[in-house]
Amino acid sequence: MSQVVDQYTPVDQHLDIKIYMCILLLPLILVNWVRNLKLLAPCSTFAVAITILAFTAVLYYVFTDLPSIESRVPVGKITNMPLFFGTVIFALEAIGVVSTPCR
């Protein structure tokens, strides 16, 4: 939150990280006071809607101004395969699950 706000405010108006923590403290306390979790369902719906909007924005920027297929290499180098699989596993699984050894 502080990085986003600092990006769009002048340098002399940047706030300390502790102030952002205090700003977020009150909403977090109020949300955690709710005993009946059915009351938080609209918050969950709102969060899902924001996630869908963010995913849509990401996909828009990913598929905008794509280079032509002819200019791309059809198959990558074999030496980059571990990097590819590592990226795929990191993207699809929780990093805690992937990096935690089996016991």
Hey, where are the domains in the chain? 2-74
Assess contact for 15 and 24: CB atoms under 8 A.
no
Question: Residue 77, SS3?
Answer: coil
0.85 exceeded by pTM: no
Other Cβ atoms less than 10 A from the Cβ of 15: the count is 13
HSE-CB at 34 with a 13 A cutoff on CA atoms is 12
Residue 56 confidence (pLDDT): 95
Assess contact for 15 and 5: CB atoms under 8 A.
yes
Residue 95 confidence (pLDDT): 56
Q: What is the 8-class DSSP label of residue 82?
A: H
pLDDT values of the chain reduced to their tens digit, one per residue, 103 residues: 888 888 888 888 888 889 999 999 998 998 889 888 888 888 889 989 999 999 999 999 989 988 888 888 888 889 999 998 888 877 776 655 545 555 5
Residue 75 confidence (pLDDT): 86
